[in-house]
Amino acid sequence: MSEPACPKKGPYSVDLEPGDYFWCSCGQSNNQPFCDGSHKGTEFTPEKLTVTEKGTFYLCGCKRSSDKPMCDGTHNQL
């Protein structure tokens, strides 16, 4: 499996309303941290995030978290 691009060595802090969101797993999206379809033709697929309560979320920017799509601090080891 290929390594995803690393658009940011840190989390994206995003305020989200309840609903479904699709987190970019390939690192190529121009709409980080969300998918814009840039993964087409690769082995990457976006991760669905379902938000049930309005809040601030810290989404992985390095694309290597073990808790995708949430940041787990893996970027500190890059």
CA distance 29 to 24: 6
pTM: 0.94
Q: Where are the domains of the chain?
A: 12-67
Torsion, Cα 51 56 62 68, to 10 degrees, reads -30
pLDDT per residue of the chain (78 residues) written in tens, 0 to 9: 689 999 999 999 999 999 999 999 999 999 999 999 999 999 999 999 999 999 999 999 999 999 999 999 999 999
